[in-house]
Amino acid sequence: MKFQKILSIGIAENKLEPKYWERLDKLTEQRVMLSQDSPEIKIQISNADCLLINPFVFKVNKELIDVAPSLKFIGVLATGFGVVDHEYAATKDITVCNIPGYATESVAELAIAILLEYTRDIEYAKQLARKGNYSDVPRVPVYEIKAKKLGIIGTGRIGSRVAEISLALGAEVFYWSINKKPELEAKGVIYQEVEKIISECDFVSLHLALNKDTEGFMNETFINKMKSGAILLNLSPNELVDFNALEKRLAKGDLIYIADHTDEMTPEQIKQLSQYKDFIPYPPIGYQTVEATALKQEIFVGNIENFLKGEPTNKVN
Amino acid sequence: MKFQKILSIGIAENKLEPKYWERLDKLTEQRVMLSQDSPEIKIQISNADCLLINPFVFKVNKELIDVAPSLKFIGVLATGFGVVDHEYAATKDITVCNIPGYATESVAELAIAILLEYTRDIEYAKQLARKGNYSDVPRVPVYEIKAKKLGIIGTGRIGSRVAEISLALGAEVFYWSINKKPELEAKGVIYQEVEKIISECDFVSLHLALNKDTEGFMNETFINKMKSGAILLNLSPNELVDFNALEKRLAKGDLIYIADHTDEMTPEQIKQLSQYKDFIPYPPIGYQTVEATALKQEIFVGNIENFLKGEPTNKVN
């Protein structure tokens, strides 16, 4: 089975390697690429049976679905699919698929990488060695992960992997999640109330999805409960953390905040936090590995192939 | 039981925290501290029954042992005890104790830290983020440890821990060691001939002690057998690696050398290697954690206490 017409919107040529575009071409009679601003969208979608979108630049609402009577499949080139009215799509028998988990390992490895970078003062050590200085280390007490209390908040794919790797590093690993995870507990990860994790752990790593319940999750009370000298690690959306409370605590000089979604902050926010030595910002590099980039494309195209075979994968509606 | 006289040589006051000096004072009638250059050494040692030395600045040979007829115990403030003629000491019924394994976790964590630092181009990412640049990453392909082949050469305490943590990161972990390690194999680490590890692994981590058999272990043949783009990680003595062969291979631009004992190189060697972007030097920071520093002192003083209780620990002769 083939599609009559695959329409892609907002997906630049270089977002997929040539071999994936070729695989897509085998799945359709016709393939049309439009930018998110194209005036042709409504005309082109009227007879498309497959729509592929870049959700960071294009939304799919009821109105659009209503002018796409042939549509059977919407492929979202990301994990998040909130910009697609997937419930309405379901009422029209349109399958919506996303790309979950493609960066699980990459993000989990980055969490460990930047935690160890901090605990061992790696950047400073590298700089000294390049100057031929082998004496002036350590400049601050550096320490082991082993035997420290490490708390994971949110045990989806990424949080669970960070928990497993931390166990191997010899940390005492705790988790809090809406649903208990017997499979993690069997490995030695201990369930604990979120307040207790926040107030007792040396390292707290946030792995929650962003939604209306989790926005500002790390509120003033929680931030102030963290131990003196503790590290708050955030490779999840920046909006999980209350900015003002964070700034106040950083000003006290006894909490370290390491985060990689700092591109989501305003330039003013970045400037404010950058006053504090304990704010350790990273670019959003969690998913930027060779492996995650390949897996993302593979799952994206695989979803379409599997739908045509009648065995849809990663259907969200 | 107590010693009559503990004599320490070359151990500066600040090498042990006050609480450890206090514990030592409880074990002896008299305690004398001398520098390694003191003219009083032969006089003071003549009636000492316990000798503590800093082996980096002071050696214990037959001649010294012969002028110390009361000596019962020699404590070495390090792991390496090669500077003490421990075999001759044994003939005089003198117990020699060292401090093994105090930095196992610290060194193993550092190995993982600096491997991940490289694979994710962390230093560069940090610098960009501080400049408020969230776009120009990655500058080079960055990649996961997961599913890569990682070879451990030498599976003493540290090599074994690096193997275990690497398994948790999802690497395919191989080892070569003079003695097979069934306990590692039970965990999933695969024994392989050293040539095969060197020629097939993406990452090769050296964990051999330095002796006449291992000096220059990574010779020209081995270095040239390493895969293009492979990483050679060396947190063991610098002398394990043939310098000229390493330089030639670095000049080709297809091998990465990450090492933390670069203080053992001559300034000329450092200068020569520093021409190559794939030489990533670190200061010798493997053992410099709070935990290792405390454990070292604890074991050192514990050895002396245990000897007096008739249950010597870490006896090497």
Distance from the Cα of B292 to chain A's closest Cα (Å) equals 8
Which value does ipTM take for this structure? 0.91
Q: Which of B289, B293, B296 to mutate to test the interface with A (most CBs of A within 10 A)?
A: B289
Rounded to two decimals, the pTM is 0.92
Same fold, A3-102+291-308 and A104-281: yes
The C-alpha atoms of residue A259 and residue A235 are separated, in whole angstroms, by 6
Say how many CB pairs under 8 Å bridge A and B.
155
Give, for all 317 residues of chain B, the pLDDT tens digit: 899 999 999 999 999 999 999 999 999 999 999 999 999 999 999 999 999 999 999 999 999 999 999 999 999 999 889 899 999 999 999 999 999 999 999 999 999 999 999 999 999 999 999 988 888 888 899 999 999 999 999 999 999 999 999 999 999 999 999 999 999 999 999 999 999 999 999 999 999 988 899 999 999 999 999 999 999 999 999 999 999 999 999 999 999 999 998 888 888 999 999 999 999 999 999 999 999 999 999 999 999 999 999 999 999 99
Q: Is A169 on the interface with B (CB under 8 A)?
A: yes
**Residues in chain B closer than 8 A to A281 (CB atoms):** 126, 129-130
Distance, C-alpha A238 to centroid of its chain: 11
CB-closest option in A119, A262, A283 to B137: A283
The C-alpha atoms of residue B163 and residue B152 are separated, in whole angstroms, by 7
Query: What architecture (CATH level 2) is domain B104-277?
Result: 3-Layer(aba) Sandwich (3.40)
Distance from the Cα of B288 to chain A's closest Cα (Å) equals 7
Q: Which CATH number fits domain A3-102+291-308: 3.90.870.10, 3.30.530.20, 3.40.50.300, 3.40.50.720?
A: 3.40.50.720
Question: How many residues would you count in chain A?
Answer: 317
The C-alpha atoms of residue B171 and residue A76 are separated, in whole angstroms, by 31
The string of DSSP codes covering chain B is: --EEEEEEES--GGGS-HHHHHHHHTTEEEEEEE-TT-TTHHHHHTT-SEEEE-TTT--B-HHHHHT-TT--EEEESSS--TTB-HHHHHHTT-EEE---STTHHHHHHHHHHHHHHHHTTHHHHHHHHHTT--SS--SS-B--STT-EEEEE--SHHHHHHHHHHHHTT-EEEEE-SS--HHHHHHTPEE--HHHHHHH-SEEEE----STTTTT-B-HHHHHHSPTTEEEEE-S-GGGB-HHHHHHHHHHT-EEEEES-GGGS-HHHHHHHTTSTTEEE--S-TT-BHHHHHHHHHHHHHHHHHHHTT---SB--
Give, for all 317 residues of chain A, the pLDDT tens digit: 899 999 999 999 999 999 999 999 999 999 999 999 999 999 999 999 999 999 999 999 999 999 999 999 999 999 889 899 999 999 999 999 999 999 999 999 999 999 999 999 999 999 999 988 888 888 899 999 999 999 999 999 999 999 999 999 999 999 999 999 999 999 999 999 999 999 999 999 999 988 899 999 999 999 999 999 999 999 999 999 999 999 999 999 999 999 998 888 888 999 999 999 999 999 999 999 999 999 999 999 999 999 999 999 999 99
Q: B168-226: per-residue pLDDT in tens?
A: 999 999 999 999 999 999 999 999 999 999 999 999 999 998 889 999 999 999 999 99
CB-closest option in A112, A126, A262 to B129: A262
**Residues in chain B closer than 8 A to A164 (CB atoms):** 168
CB-based contact B137 A288, cutoff 8 Å: yes
Q: Which of A137, A276, A287, A291 to mutate to test the interface with B (most CBs of B within 10 A)?
A: A291
- The secondary structure element, H or E, covering residue A4 is strand A3-9
B4 close to B70: Cβ distance less than 8 angstroms: yes
CB-closest option in B112, B167, B262 to A129: B262
A205 close to A111: Cβ distance less than 8 angstroms: yes
Query: What architecture (CATH level 2) is domain B3-98+291-308?
Result: 3-Layer(aba) Sandwich (3.40)
How many Cβ atoms sit within 10 Å of the Cβ of residue A172? 18
Q: Which of B17, B280, B288 to mutate to test the interface with A (most CBs of A within 10 A)?
A: B288
**Residues in chain A closer than 8 A to B139 (CB atoms):** none
CB-based contact A122 B123, cutoff 8 Å: yes
State which fold the A104-281 domain adopts: Rossmann fold (3.40.50)
CB-based contact B282 A129, cutoff 8 Å: yes
**Residues in chain B closer than 8 A to A130 (CB atoms):** 274, 281
- Where do the domains of chain A lie? 3-102+291-308, 104-281
The b/e string for A218-240 (b: 16+ C-beta within 10 A; e otherwise) is beeebbebbbeebbbbbbbbbbb
